[in-house]
């Protein structure tokens, strides 16, 4: 070795804890890779959210079914309360006159109220739908306190209908036969929502004027205090829901068919 030449000395790395970016990177790799059981530089797998894990497996399926049932019951109870409180409490006159009157049998004073409206010239004719097949014309006249003279000229009797759906079907045929565009609907106040739903489904475009008949034996103003009234309203509500579903389904089908119809080529579009 030449005299005066500088010999590089090997530097020793300190054995104590290191600081700086090199050590920080090493810590991240150690924590993210070795401790998490993954290779250095690989992204950690995303864990399933807790609200999804709640419904996982057989127990989660049972829990989901239970929660859905509770939600459905709550919605039904709220809907029933709204339905019961929405029933007409007082008798009110029809908003305007109409071409015809349809009265759905099955309740107190329905035929009597319909004949009173006919005597007041509120309509041209009356359809009594759902009459028992064994009921005679003379027996029907005894149910009308006034206007019985109109039975011979202005009253049509339907004995085919057995339920509200049949009432709507027979009324639709009667309306079409007479070319009516509006009808006063006479039925009990608690039955009116379902009757209107079925009638609207059966004859869209016809103006329906409700005339609810109030039965003093049905205490709709404080229905929760009378078990009989509560049962009646609950039964009517459970029948009203399918009627409403049929109406919405029919309307949806009509809208779909109307949207897919193509106007003839020889007719100009509006």
Is residue 34 included in any domain, yes or no?
A: no
What is the spatial order of strands in the sheet that 182-188 belongs to? 155-158, 125-129, 100-104, 182-188, 207-213
Is residue 55 included in any domain, yes or no?
A: no
pLDDT averaged over the chain? 83
Domain of 157: which CATH number? 3.40.50
Work out whether strand 100-104 and strand 125-129 pair parallel, antiparallel, or are unpaired: parallel
Domain hosting 142: range is: 100-214+223-251
In angstroms, rounded to a whole number, what is the distance separating the alpha carbons of residues 142 and 204? 34
Is residue 155 included in any domain, yes or no?
A: yes
Is residue 32 included in any domain, yes or no?
A: no
In angstroms, rounded to a whole number, what is the distance separating the alpha carbons of residues 217 and 188? 12
Residue 134 has phi, psi (to 5 degrees) of -90, -5
In angstroms, rounded to a whole number, what is the distance separating the alpha carbons of residues 169 and 111? 19
Counting residues of the chain whose pLDDT is more than 90, the rounded percentage is: 61
What is the DSSP annotation of 38-77?
S-TTPPPPPPPPHHHHTT-HHHHHHHHHHHHHHHHHHHHH
In angstroms, rounded to a whole number, what is the distance separating the alpha carbons of residues 254 and 235? 29
Q: How many CB atoms lie within 10 A of CB 64?
A: 13
Is residue 183 included in any domain, yes or no?
A: yes
Is residue 75 included in any domain, yes or no?
A: no
- The per-residue pLDDT for range 163-213, each reduced to its tens digit, is 999 999 999 999 999 999 999 999 999 999 999 999 999 999 999 999 999
Is residue 230 included in any domain, yes or no?
A: yes
Residue 60 has phi, psi (to 5 degrees) of -65, -35
Q: What is the pTM of this model?
A: 0.73
Residue 69: what pLDDT?
92
The count of domains in the chain is 1
Residue 62: what pLDDT?
82
Asked if pLDDT for residue 33 goes beyond 50, the answer is no
Is residue 229 included in any domain, yes or no?
A: yes
- The per-residue pLDDT for range 34-90, each reduced to its tens digit, is 444 555 555 555 555 555 556 666 777 788 888 889 999 999 999 999 999 999 988
Tell the residue number behind the tokens 């804890």, with chain if given: 17
> What residues form DSSP beta bridges with 213?
188
């Amino acid at each position: 070795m030449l005299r005066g030449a500088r010999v590089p000395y090997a530097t020793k790395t300190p054995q104590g804890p290191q600081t700086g970016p090199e050590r920080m990177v090493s810590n991240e790799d150690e924590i993210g890779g070795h401790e998490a059981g993954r290779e250095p530089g690989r992204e950690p797998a995303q864990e399933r959210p807790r609200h999804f894990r709640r419904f996982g497996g057989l127990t989660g399926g049972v829990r989901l079914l239970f929660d859905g049932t509770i939600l459905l019951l709550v919605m039904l109870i709220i809907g029933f309360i709204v339905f019961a409180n929405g029933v007409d409490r007082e008798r009110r006159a029809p908003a305007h006159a109409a071409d015809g009157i349809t009265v759905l049998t099955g309740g107190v004073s329905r035929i009597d109220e319909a004949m009173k409206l006919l005597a007041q010239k509120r309509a041209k004719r009356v359809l009594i739908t759902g009459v028992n097949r064994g009921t005679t014309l003379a027996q029907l006249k005894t149910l009308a306190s006034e206007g019985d003279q109109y039975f011979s000229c202005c009253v049509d009797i339907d004995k085919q209908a057995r339920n509200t759906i049949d009432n709507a079907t027979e009324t639709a045929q009667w309306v079409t036969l007479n070319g009516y565009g509006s009808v006063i609907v006479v039925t009990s106040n608690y039955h009116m929502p379902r009757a209107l739903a079925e009638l609207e489904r059966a004859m869209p475009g016809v103006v329906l004027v409700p005339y609810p008949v109030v039965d003093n034996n049905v205490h709709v103003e404080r229905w929760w205090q009378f078990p009989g009234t509560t049962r009646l309203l609950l039964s009517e509500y459970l029948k009203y829901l399918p009627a409403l579903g049929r109406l919405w389904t029919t309307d949806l089908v009509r809208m779909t068919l109307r949207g897919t119809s193509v106007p003839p080529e020889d007719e100009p579009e509006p």
